[in-house]
Structure 1
Amino acid sequence: MKAQESTSAPEMMGHPKGLFYLFFAELWERFSFYGMKALLVLYMIKQLLFTDEMSFGVFAAYMSLVYVTPLIGGMLADKFLGFRKAIIIGGVFMTLGHLLLTIEMPVFFYGSLALIIVGNGFFKPNISTFVGSLYHKKDPRRDSGFTIFYMGINIGGALAPLLCALVAEMYGWHYGFILAGLGMITGLIVFYRGIKSGVFGNHGLPPSQEIYNQKVAGLNRGNLIALLSFLSVPLFALGIYLHHYEHFIVWLAAFLIVGVLVQIYLKSDKVEKSRLIVIGYLTMLMTLFWAVFEQAGSSLTLFADRNVNLIWLSAAQTNSINSLFIIALAIPFSALWAYLTRINRNPNSAIKSGMGLLFLGIGFLVFALSARDVDALARTPMFYLFAGYFILTIGELFISPIGLSKMTELSPTKYVSFVMGVFFSSSFFGHFFAGKIASLTALKKGEVNIFSEGFFGKITAWVTGLDYTQITTANVPGFEQLYSYVSVYAGFGVLMVLLGLLAIVISPIIKKLMGGIN
């Protein structure tokens, strides 16, 4: 982007000053997002009286679509809007979505989720890419800067479930949603102040002001994009409502993403082509990671509500545990990467991604192990919930912020926002499969999940100490539901450990394809 070639911008604490404005803007945007996310499944089950399976379906469709729209938002920012205008449009849409969610009518429920989906498409990829644009491609501060930025995400993610859930319990669900909306408004104000104070230099402007101002049907391109985005809201609302058919959207999205990447690949030089292969590989690993990790907010929230002896926190508030650990670990990890770089010992990104999957698997095995200390009421000690989330967090810090950083380095310059959108599509596909995994934990009369019998049944018995036949025969309240959770967690825990080890083994091959990027 011509408007972003200059790198002159004020600095603070050894980083571009604009990083800290983006840090706080993202903090408050994530406060709104995670505040609503923590309440959503419990709200559907307890207030709207949806079944577990329907709630998982709506939640998965919503969370999937939230992460597919960044592909479109990234392309529009690359070609027309620039990062600044895209972020503002996205923030306005998301604010409307959170506030309208307070109206308890189906049309507003699905419409509100759709507004957040469209808004996130503009906000999410472009604020992350904006961070990358503040650094030169080989700036050694880059990974450290993204880890600091990632901590901002998780401060918002930690505060939101605690406060929004508390407000929802004290005053009602709708007040919790209002508080989430106020968080989004705060994020917009912080970002706008950053623009006005000039901390971004000339970064984030439209790639061509002339193209942006061109009139189409009497509107300049920026206003036309905002109008068409608003008109798309009913389509996304319908997509959530018809969540049973989401697999068609998944296949369509996969076809479109691969098609565009192939076109970019054919136009690229030799080094860019090999890096695009790595982008696809890292995106697939992230998809696997999110598919299992994102039981948080769905099945793990219900597991906490039904089968964990909770102390101090409600089930909705347990969604803050992961973010609290990230806040505690982000700075140490940032310092660790910087130190390892100085002594030339920093593992390459392919190894880090494998480590992320490995720790993810271990974390879910810890959740499954909790069944060995179950009490007579089918409730497990809260210690295991904290320990599992702690290990998951280590895995997340190995794979997610580093992946964000690598996308901005590996991507051909003129496609950087689209490639960031591709990386975020891992969350789209991951949440789709996360919904399928969560549905395996729902009790269905006369049906047995695949982790209860055969080879996987033996793994479950080995990890959890529970025997499915004895549980169903005894018919003790709560134990069958507990088994449905821990059997799934044990099976996928073992699978992720094996895939993580495989990724580490093949990391030298991936490293060669990265063309000098670590």
Structure 2
Amino acid sequence: MSNEAVAALSANEQSAFATLYRLSAIEVWERLSYYLLMTLVVLFLTAPVQEGGLGWSTASALGLYGGLVAAMQALPVLGGAVADQWLGPVRALRFGAILMLVGHFTMIGPHAVPLLWDAVDPQFDRDGFLAARTELLFASDNVPERLIVGSLYAGLTLVALGNALFKPNISAIIGRLSFGRPASRDAAFSLFHMFVNLGALIAIVLGGWVAARFGFGPAFTLAGFGMLAALALMWVFKGELSHADRPNVLKQKAASSPAAGSGWTRPAALTLGIVTLFGMVLFQMLGTLNLYAAGRVEASLFGFEFPPVWILSMNPVVMLLIMPPLARRWREGRGPGANLSLVGKAGASFACLALAFAGLSAAEALAGTALVPAALLGGAIAMITVAELLIGPSALSAITRIVPAQHGALGAGLFYGALGLGGFLSGQIGASAEILGFGTVFTLIACSCAAIGACLLATRRSAAQVGL
């Protein structure tokens, strides 16, 4: 390659990373809204009615949570197809952001209805209404109760539909950028994943504090303002978004090649299978481990007490500490994991997950009836984060590389759909903790992850034949 070609490739790559950072700024605010909702929804569902919750059982809450995760991750398959066929990724991104904005503000309904119903019905006794109920259900004949739960379902539905358009298309736009080398592409998606976790960190810390101090209603309102900020940035960066909406020439040539047209289905299917298994374990964090932190963990450190949900912030904190230097070294083709195939990274990832849940199982057994120290759960979450940074960005990078450009949004949607299937199964697994106990569930997850990791590491050479 001539010096001019190398310089052109470097200039294209620098431009691609500049666009990546602008897209990541939008993603920070959108993910803040998303994670604020997903972090608090199980706690909101299980909190007593008198404390602003719905008073649901753990099994019911985790059942809805599993379905919500599945919708959040599976509907992007449809959103990606709609964008590829009709809207285009940028317009789909805008429509999705608006739907999520409306949905987040609709989530205020469960907290606003008891206040507003006083103006509608002079006979309505808000305090008596809340005091007389242990749970709130849509099947009730009571109109305020139906409005409360109905606004919950309406808000979650709108957020899920908006997410279906937003989530795959921002990844598809990044996949269209000219990164040049596979190592640079992996580094780019790793940096994007880091910004996702920055939004998650702000959501967990700020949202957890607002919910503990002021209640769930103000916390969900905060999620709505996060989407307002995302929309404002989309307007500021509309020029970059319009430019990124057009696939680059190199990507179009790759998509028109015979390999792109016929040889991508097998490696894509294998990648999506790995992602599904990974999602089953990863989403235990916002579901099972969230409830575990609230009920079985001593949320204090050096005498300072804090909301238990803050322990989950270990995930984005570790990601933000590790990812920038790691992505820089991956971009240079060196550093831990830089030369590992996707299947090799996945095998190492499941080994980390096995260690994390084995540690939690041991901690639960040793604690007995006492509370588990927050540091032990934080350490397990840190190990889960290492697993996530090994497999998550690399799998998404692989999908955007494998799938032809004209199906780019659908490919990203399939990635999130596979995560969604794993998320749905994670809810079913987590719900069994109410019967089996946390320790037993942690042990089963650890053993399963160890077995999956061993199988993946044993099949690395076979997977290499299909480019994984």
CA-based RMSD:
2.5
Q: Does 1:62 align with 2:63?
A: no
Which residue of structure 2 aligns with residue 18 of structure 1?
19
Once residues 345 and 12 of structure 1 are traced to their aligned partners in structure 2, the CA distance between those partners, rounded to angstroms, is 19
Which residue of structure 2 aligns with residue 299 of structure 1?
288
Which of the numbers 319, 324, 328 marks the counterpart of 1:335?
328
| Contact 2:365–2:439 (Cα < 8 Å) also in 1 | no
Once residues 444 and 36 of structure 2 are traced to their aligned partners in structure 1, the CA distance between those partners, rounded to angstroms, is 30
Once residues 199 and 69 of structure 1 are traced to their aligned partners in structure 2, the CA distance between those partners, rounded to angstroms, is 26
Counterparts of 1:73-472 in structure 2 under 5 Å? 73-104=79-110, 105-136=148-179, 138=181, 140-195=183-238, 198-200=239-241, 202-204=243-245, 269=258, 272-311=261-300, 312-341=305-334, 346-374=339-367, 377-443=369-435, 449=436
Alignment CA distance shift 1:391-1:272 (3 Å):
farther
The residue identity in structure 2 corresponding to 1:145 is A
Shift of 1:161: 1.2
Alignment CA distance shift 1:398-1:345 (3 Å):
closer
The residue identity in structure 1 corresponding to 2:223 is A
| Contact 1:11–1:17 (Cα < 8 Å) also in 2 | no
Which residue of structure 1 aligns with residue 5 of structure 2?
none
Which residue of structure 1 aligns with residue 28 of structure 2?
27
Counterparts of 1:35-50 in structure 2 under 5 Å? 35-46=36-47, 47-50=53-56
Shift of 1:344: 11
Once residues 182 and 145 of structure 1 are traced to their aligned partners in structure 2, the CA distance between those partners, rounded to angstroms, is 28
Once residues 260 and 16 of structure 2 are traced to their aligned partners in structure 1, the CA distance between those partners, rounded to angstroms, is 29
Alignment CA distance shift 1:201-1:299 (3 Å):
closer
Shift of 1:343: 12
Q: Secondary structure at the match of 1:24?
A: helix
Shift of 1:362: 1.5
| Contact 1:9–1:17 (Cα < 8 Å) also in 2 | no
| Contact 2:107–2:151 (Cα < 8 Å) also in 1 | yes
Shift of 1:123: 0.3
| Contact 2:101–2:224 (Cα < 8 Å) also in 1 | yes
Shift of 1:193: 0.9
1:217-255, Cα deviation, whole Å (9 max, x unpaired): xxxxxxxxxxxxxxxxxxxxxxxxxxxxxxxxxxxxxxx
| Contact 1:368–1:489 (Cα < 8 Å) also in 2 | yes
Shift of 1:417: 1.3
Alignment CA distance shift 1:418-1:116 (3 Å):
same
Once residues 242 and 373 of structure 2 are traced to their aligned partners in structure 1, the CA distance between those partners, rounded to angstroms, is 51
Once residues 193 and 10 of structure 1 are traced to their aligned partners in structure 2, the CA distance between those partners, rounded to angstroms, is 23
The residue identity in structure 2 corresponding to 1:184 is M
Q: Secondary structure at the match of 1:296?
A: coil
Q: Secondary structure at the match of 2:434?
A: coil
1:110-132, Cα deviation, whole Å (9 max, x unpaired): 00000001000000000011111
| Contact 2:198–2:320 (Cα < 8 Å) also in 1 | yes
Once residues 160 and 44 of structure 1 are traced to their aligned partners in structure 2, the CA distance between those partners, rounded to angstroms, is 18
The residue identity in structure 1 corresponding to 2:265 is L
Shift of 1:139: 5.4
Once residues 65 and 9 of structure 1 are traced to their aligned partners in structure 2, the CA distance between those partners, rounded to angstroms, is 39
Once residues 257 and 176 of structure 2 are traced to their aligned partners in structure 1, the CA distance between those partners, rounded to angstroms, is 21
The residue identity in structure 2 corresponding to 1:99 is F
The residue identity in structure 1 corresponding to 2:162 is G
Once residues 507 and 41 of structure 1 are traced to their aligned partners in structure 2, the CA distance between those partners, rounded to angstroms, is 38
Which residue of structure 2 aligns with residue 489 of structure 1?
442
| Contact 2:271–2:399 (Cα < 8 Å) also in 1 | no
The residue identity in structure 1 corresponding to 2:94 is I
Once residues 247 and 262 of structure 2 are traced to their aligned partners in structure 1, the CA distance between those partners, rounded to angstroms, is 27
1:460-489, Cα deviation, whole Å (9 max, x unpaired): xxxxxxxxxxxxxxxxxxxxxxxx102111
Which residue of structure 2 aligns with residue 71 of structure 1?
77
Once residues 32 and 81 of structure 2 are traced to their aligned partners in structure 1, the CA distance between those partners, rounded to angstroms, is 26
| Contact 1:125–1:421 (Cα < 8 Å) also in 2 | yes
Q: Secondary structure at the match of 2:387?
A: helix
| Contact 1:146–1:404 (Cα < 8 Å) also in 2 | yes
TM-score by length of 2: 0.82
| Contact 1:17–1:199 (Cα < 8 Å) also in 2 | no
Shift of 1:413: 2.3
Alignment CA distance shift 1:12-1:155 (3 Å):
farther
Once residues 385 and 342 of structure 1 are traced to their aligned partners in structure 2, the CA distance between those partners, rounded to angstroms, is 28
Once residues 300 and 140 of structure 1 are traced to their aligned partners in structure 2, the CA distance between those partners, rounded to angstroms, is 33
Alignment CA distance shift 1:8-1:98 (3 Å):
farther
Once residues 427 and 140 of structure 1 are traced to their aligned partners in structure 2, the CA distance between those partners, rounded to angstroms, is 23
| Contact 2:13–2:179 (Cα < 8 Å) also in 1 | no
Unpaired stretches in structure 1, ≥5 consecutive residues:
1-6, 208-266, 444-448, 450-483
What count of residue pairs does the alignment treat as equivalent? 408
Shift of 1:339: 4.0
Task: Give the number of the structure with larger relative contact order, counting CA–CA contacts within 8 Å between residues 6 or more apart.
Answer: 2
| Contact 2:311–2:374 (Cα < 8 Å) also in 1 | no
Once residues 200 and 64 of structure 1 are traced to their aligned partners in structure 2, the CA distance between those partners, rounded to angstroms, is 28
Q: Secondary structure at the match of 2:109?
A: coil
Once residues 306 and 262 of structure 2 are traced to their aligned partners in structure 1, the CA distance between those partners, rounded to angstroms, is 49
Shift of 1:316: 2.4
Alignment CA distance shift 1:143-1:270 (3 Å):
closer
The residue identity in structure 2 corresponding to 1:125 is P
Alignment CA distance shift 1:201-1:13 (3 Å):
same
TM-score by length of 1: 0.74
| Contact 1:147–1:330 (Cα < 8 Å) also in 2 | yes
Alignment CA distance shift 1:200-1:110 (3 Å):
closer
Once residues 348 and 261 of structure 2 are traced to their aligned partners in structure 1, the CA distance between those partners, rounded to angstroms, is 26
Once residues 327 and 271 of structure 1 are traced to their aligned partners in structure 2, the CA distance between those partners, rounded to angstroms, is 34
